[in-house]
Amino acid sequence: MSTTQEPSKTLVQRAPEVAGGVLRQLFEYAIDGVGGLPSAKAAAARTLQAKGDREAAVDSLVLQHVGFASAQGFITNLGGLATIAVALPANLAGAAIVQIRMLAAIAHLRGYDIDDRRVRTALALAMLGEDEVRKQVGLGKVPSTPLGIATAPMFDPLLDRQVSERVLGDLATKIGGKHLTVLIAKRIPLVGGGVGAVADGYLTYVLGAYARKEFVRRQR
């Protein structure tokens, strides 16, 4: 009996490790670049050069990434997604990469070191959205908002694992829970693509608005 239970027990024990690994991979693709998508720093620098003002660049980055997330073919054809397809469908992985890249580019423009592990934990937490973060802080599940975590005295590996689990759990609900209607609609020709584009684009816009408010300007 113990033999049959052991594999499932091992999977449960490894859940935080698996979640952390998948999220780290998403972050590497988003921040360092993947396929035809340049790095978050490159996107921030190019947009700043074009706009000549940091806040105008932030606004432009949000609109750019809303456009990326709304382009169904773009996010599902990003190179490298095959390596995480076992954990997340390509459309969700692609959308997550676009959203993380946007958050990272905004944070970079606002003076945060996006290679700092504290900042990466904060960016992951921001992926949950403002309402969910407020709920988690209120319940004592996380100690602070993304801003508080990004500026904490030191990196907390336990918190990083917990946040990774929550973010991957949130993405999982989009597969089998509250976004099921959208996922089904995506399979319907003509209608489905429009529904998915609106959903992904809107969520990206909401996350961008949250990042603009949360990651206040810092001196480098």
Distance CA 172, CA 116 (A): 27
Q: What residues are paired with 37 via a beta bridge?
A: 34
C-alpha distances (whole Å) from 218 to each of 106, 126, 201, 214, 215 are 12, 18, 28, 12, 8
Indicate the pTM of the whole model: 0.81
Distance CA 49, CA 86 (A): 38
Going residue by residue through the chain (220 aa), what tens digit of pLDDT does each one get? Answer: 444 444 433 433 445 556 667 888 889 989 998 777 899 999 999 999 999 999 999 999 999 999 988 875 566 555 555 555 445 667 777 888 899 999 999 999 999 999 999 999 999 999 999 999 999 999 999 999 999 999 999 999 999 999 998 988 887 676 544 444 444 444 444 444 445 557 788 899 999 999 999 999 987 6
How many residues are present in the chain? 220
Three-state DSSP state, 179: coil
